[in-house]
Structure 1
């Protein structure tokens, strides 16, 4: 499937952390063409295997991108029919007030997020930041009718369709990290043209936004020689400087930091330069907050890398990416994999 169409299908679907089931068939249908084997594990991770050229003893490389998205959950149904809710994953309350939402119960219901009008707030209230506890969701039903469709614990997502902007840019919800899923497909397409030596495991992980559970379990199962997390990085906007952001349209960010294997990172940069693949450097001195953290400390430790797709307005419903960055990320992954063999693996994994 063409990258934009695949991304559109993913982002227009709903899959809050722990509830990613709606995405399963879309991902499997696109991965299976290029994989020798594909499975869904007990936690819900989708694990595709593209076997290397040799019959056995191939290096194992795991590529992980998470398919879950941040969202909301019903925590109470008030007598007047309004819903109280909480967050799943990191949500800035300032970004959700006034948004249209979908409540995913026995039947999907549209609603809106509202709060006390500013006209009726006293001076003290106007000076305070609004919180999720101050907000309600209005679906238009009284409680007795609402309870036929909605229960405490039902998930809620922002009602947002992926939007095409100018200059190969796209905006919408859940691009963190469904852009990464698309880059895995682009990598598989590139690898399909080559005789790569490593066995490549492409993993669409679950529950990254609430603790990276999917990456922990899938890494333990696969036990790869090299783990690579493909996630998103903070795209440059006017209020950010170059030291803590990466530019859209200039390629993936290759992460440097204490959690990144230095020799593998040098090899990745070398490959990008050798094949003239656009890339940037991203500085993350501590834990990356990505699936790489889970991979790195699984079993006896897995040498890990992070590749970040530039993304603006992270954890909002109007995240923005450049489709060319996504394609170049897939290309970089494929060229790196083709450069790994049994002959050079041990040297690359040494410090």
Structure 2
């Protein structure tokens, strides 16, 4: 399957944190061709294993990209059939007013998010953002009909399909972090052309947006020698400073900061330079906010890296990435994995 086709399939799907099982079949079907074994653990993480060529005790490298997306959840049904809702994961209420949504009840139901018209607002309300608790979802049915199709706790996603922008850029919901899943899929295909000593575990993690539970348990089970979180970074837009953002189309961001293993980060930049793969530096002095946070604190601690795909408008329904960055990210990861051996691992991990 073409990587962009997989990305479109995943972004158009429904997989709010805790409900990622809706995407399992698509991921397993795609990963199956390029790996030796696939399993789904008790929390729902999809773990695809690719065997290395070494006959000795193999190095274990784990790539993690989270499959869950932010979304909404039904919390009440009004007398007139309107649906009250809350958020799952970090959502700015200002980005959802007026959006079309799909309520995932007994069947998928189209609706719209509305609120009090500006004409009827008090003067004191004009300069204030509308709170989520003051919004409703209207699917057009009576209370009785709504109750027959929808339960409290049903999830809701923004109705949006992946769309091509100009050039090699695309816009969609849930590119955070299904773009990362696309990267690890493309990395599988690149590694299929190479020899690598390390055993590689490609993990589509769950529940990253609500506490990284998937990465915690999958890292504990795999106990890798090296962990790499593949996630998204803040794509450059006019209001962002260069030091806080990444340019689209100029390669992935290699994260530099306190949570990142310095020896592995240095090796990753050397590999990028050796194979003329463009990259940028992403400065994250504290917590990375990615699955790497879970990796570094698992068992005795896993030496970890973060590779970030530049992404604009994070945590909205119109996130934007450049497919060129996905290709460059995969090439960099594949060559990095191929460069790791039993002979050089200890030196790389030494402080």
Q: TM class, shorter-chain normalised?
A: over 0.9
What is the correspondence of 1:72-87 to structure 2 with a 5 Å cutoff?
Answer: 72-87=72-87
Q: Secondary structure at the match of 1:338?
A: helix
What is the correspondence of 1:314-333 to structure 2 with a 5 Å cutoff?
Answer: 314-333=314-333
Structure 1 residue 179: Cα displacement = 0.3
Partners in 1 of 2:100 and 2:239 — Cα distance? 27
Structure 1 residue 127: Cα displacement = 2.2
Q: Per-residue CA shift, 1:157-184, capped at 9, x if unaligned?
A: 0000000011100001000000000000
Partners in 1 of 2:76 and 2:299 — Cα distance? 41
Paired residue for 1:246? 246
Q: Per-residue CA shift, 1:155-210, capped at 9, x if unaligned?
A: 00000000001110000100000000000011101111111000000000000000
Paired residue for 2:106? 106
Q: Secondary structure at the match of 1:228?
A: strand
Paired residue for 1:343? 343
Structure 1 residue 327: Cα displacement = 1.0
Partners in 2 of 1:13 and 1:43 — Cα distance? 19
What TM-score results when the alignment is normalised by the length of structure 2? 0.99
Structure 1 residue 346: Cα displacement = 0.6
What is the correspondence of 1:1-351 to structure 2 with a 5 Å cutoff?
Answer: 1-351=1-351
Q: Secondary structure at the match of 1:10?
A: helix
Partners in 2 of 1:326 and 1:166 — Cα distance? 16
Structure 1 residue 345: Cα displacement = 0.4
RMSD between aligned residues: 0.6
Unpaired segments of 5 or more residues in structure 2? none
Q: Secondary structure at the match of 2:148?
A: coil
Q: Per-residue CA shift, 1:110-142, capped at 9, x if unaligned?
A: 000000000100111112221101100000001
Structure 1 residue 3: Cα displacement = 1.5
The runs of 4+ residues in structure 1 deviating greater than 2 Å are none
Partners in 1 of 2:53 and 2:124 — Cα distance? 68
Q: Per-residue CA shift, 1:294-318, capped at 9, x if unaligned?
A: 0010001000000000000000000
Structure 1 residue 55: Cα displacement = 2.9
Partners in 2 of 1:54 and 1:285 — Cα distance? 36
Partners in 2 of 1:27 and 1:247 — Cα distance? 29
Partners in 2 of 1:291 and 1:75 — Cα distance? 29
Q: Which sits farther off after the overlay, 55-64 or 292-301?
A: 55-64
Structure 1 residue 22: Cα displacement = 1.2
Unpaired segments of 5 or more residues in structure 1? none
Partners in 2 of 1:236 and 1:128 — Cα distance? 27
Structure 1 residue 103: Cα displacement = 0.2
What TM-score results when the alignment is normalised by the length of structure 1? 0.99
Q: Secondary structure at the match of 1:113?
A: strand
